[in-house]
Amino acid sequence: MTGGTAFALADVDYRIGTAEILSGITLEVGFGRVLALVGPNGAGKSSLLTLLTRDARPSAGTIEMEGRPVHEYSARELSRRRAVLLQSNQVAFSFTAREVVEMGRAPWTGFDHGDDDAAVHDALVSADVLHLAERPFSSLSGGERARVSLARVLAQDTPIIMLDEPTAALDLRHQEDVLQLTRELASLGRAVIVVLHDLSLAAAYADDVAIIAGGRLQARGAPEEILTEQRIESVYGIAVRVISDPDTGQPVVLPRRGR
């Protein structure tokens, strides 16, 4: 699981009825790297993730996962190759947090893929929710639910991990913890795709940043190359200042606020 291409997209379009959601997306996602998808609200970031998960099919173009058209995978094969954290963290029944995390092991039922109990425990620890394990999921705060849902994804133990706005409901410490975790996963050879709104977080933790705006890929590359004042102002329609983090040298994006 080191090196190689997790996803390869070529000229991908996505339409819903007559509405063009994505157009001409060509992109590669490598193993051992964190790719941050950023862009304004409604840009198409989550829609792109939906195509990668195969919850929707492109209107045109091709998507390959590990060199094979993604639509050729069975549902069981997909569940063993990629894990997905969506924005919605709802559970229909009264499960405990531990039981929700245990759901991540379902794809491996009847298959020798490590110790289930150990995988669940490690996931609870990594997401900092071990102390919530016996709590009903419905009783948790939004941030706690998000972290339990992340633990479910970790317990699934797949080579490809996709996270849609995983920091949206989290406090400052847990935002940093989650993004640090993506770096650790990439260091183990996983391919990590994360949708983010915080450009400074993307710059601090991602190997590559892809900016989506108006359904099109505007730029893709290293954070320090992509996150320039001119490009951010053009895409987001707001004046910003990009400075260098004194500790890491990575870009920090600050809105220019008048008085």
Alpha helix locations (H) across the chain?
45-53, 75-81, 97-102, 116-126, 142-156, 172-187, 199-205, 223-226, 229-236
Determine the 3-state secondary structure of 96 from DSSP.
strand
- With b for 16 or more beta-carbon neighbours within 10 A and e for fewer, the 28-42 pattern comes to ebbbbbbbbbbbbee
| DSSP conformation letters of 183-229 | HHHHHTT-EEEEE-S-HHHHHHH-SEEEEEETTEEEEEE-HHHH--H
Q: Where are the domains of the chain?
A: 5-255
Please report the pLDDT score of residue 88 as a whole number.
Answer: 73
- Report which of residues 132 and 111 the model is more confident about: 132
Q: pLDDT at residue 101 above 50?
A: yes
Query: pLDDT tens, 186-197?
Result: 999 999 999 999
The whole-number average pLDDT for the span 220-225 is: 96
Whether residue 163 contacts residue 150, with contact meaning beta carbons closer than 8 Å, is answered with yes
Can you tell me the mean pLDDT for 223-243?
Answer: 96
Would you say residue 204 has pLDDT above 80?
A: yes
Return the pLDDT at 61: 97
List the CATH code of the domain at 5-255.
Answer: 3.40.50.300
Q: b/e per residue, 90-99, with b = 16+ CB within 10 A?
A: ebeeebbbbb
| Of residues 6 and 110, more confidently modeled | 6
Per-residue pLDDT reduced to its tens digit, 35-68: 999 999 999 999 999 999 999 999 999 999 999 9
Residue 1, pLDDT score: 46
Q: Write the pLDDT tens digit of every residue in 150-188.
A: 999 999 999 999 999 999 889 999 999 999 999 999 999
pTM of the model: 0.94
Q: Which tens digits make up the pLDDT trace of 81-97?
A: 999 998 876 666 689 99
